[in-house]
Amino acid sequence: MIGEAGSDGLKSEGYCGISFSMVVGSCHVQLQTYFCPEQIIISEDGDPFALASSVTLHQLTEVDSTNLYGLREWRHLGHASLILAGSQTAGRGRRARSWHSPSGTNIYASLVWKEPLNPQHFGLFSQGTALTIAETLVDLEIPKVTLKWPNDVLIRQQKAAGVLCECEWAGSIPQVMIIGFGINVNTPAADLAGIDQPATSLYLETGDQQALPQLAETIGNRLVTTLNAISEHGLWAIQERWQSLSSLAGKWVQVQHGTEPDFVAKVVGLNSDGGLTVQDESGSWHELSSADTTVRILE
């Protein structure tokens, strides 16, 4: 409890106090909390997410993988450092799939995230990253942008971006999260021809070339705000936003889940771990993790 002298000291340093009461059992408790108005940042749309900051951009001409570079060098990089490479020689996606990385046309980036690191939120970091990219594309007036769980951003049902989050641990203690993302930005059609799934780029959708460092930095700064919000509020920070852009929400899907038999279910939404909550035809609920699950929308 803060005494009168302590509260006076906080007030003299610019803190404001809020008093509120609550009932605990048969007791009526009066509580007071203090906050510093200068540490509260309100976004332009009125979102009260606190302690937003910006990235520090580190540009590399070529690297094996921005995620691998981040995992090697994170001790020498500051929190919220954004690694941006002109090309990758060993770009990677989910499940160790290679990521096509031609030189000078796309965004290959990784954010070094050192704090806060709550493992309960790690699954949401991937969702929040994909969401941040998708919302940025919507703001650029890219048409028909949707999210495909667990880590893809689609334009007209064609892949435009992907996310890969990797954590460095010391025993059971997380040390750093490296949040990698790749976006097809200025890619011509010829460079997408060899990809094993439908893919597109911002250039193919709009006819306009984008400045890669500026777009990467914009996404990075917005991502810092999203991750801070997830760290403070968990699923609540992104749930409605994710739902509004999801290509799966409310849809019936075919689920392949580990070694279990395939089943049909309706997608309800995200859960607090960043997994998918679905309800099967018998009414039973299932919580699906991204590690061992594939879902396909039923026509």
Comparing 48-57, 200-209, 230-239, the range with the smallest average pLDDT is 48-57
Q: Looking at the 3D structure of the chain, how many domains does it have? A: 3
- Scanning the chain, the segments in alpha helix (DSSP H) are 4-12, 66-73, 122-139, 189-192, 202-206, 212-233, 239-245
Q: What range defines the domain where residue 263 resides?
A: 252-297
Q: What are 150's two structure tokens?
A: 């667990």
Confidence of residue 1 (pLDDT cuts 50, 70, 90): very low
Do residues 230 and 270 both lie within one domain?
no
Q: Is the pLDDT of residue 180 over 70?
A: yes
- Scanning 234-279, the segments in alpha helix (DSSP H) are 239-245
Q: pTM of the predicted model, to two decimals? A: 0.80
- pLDDT digits over 50-88, tens only? 343 799 999 999 999 999 999 999 999 999 999 999 999
Judge whether 44 lies within some domain. no
Do residues 133 and 27 both lie within one domain?
no
Judge whether 88 lies within some domain. yes
Residue 39's pLDDT is what?
38
Question: What does the buried/exposed string (b/e) look like for 230-258 if buried means 16 or more CB atoms within 10 Å of the residue's CB?
Answer: bbebbbebbbebbbebbbbbeeebebbbe
Do residues 236 and 279 both lie within one domain?
no
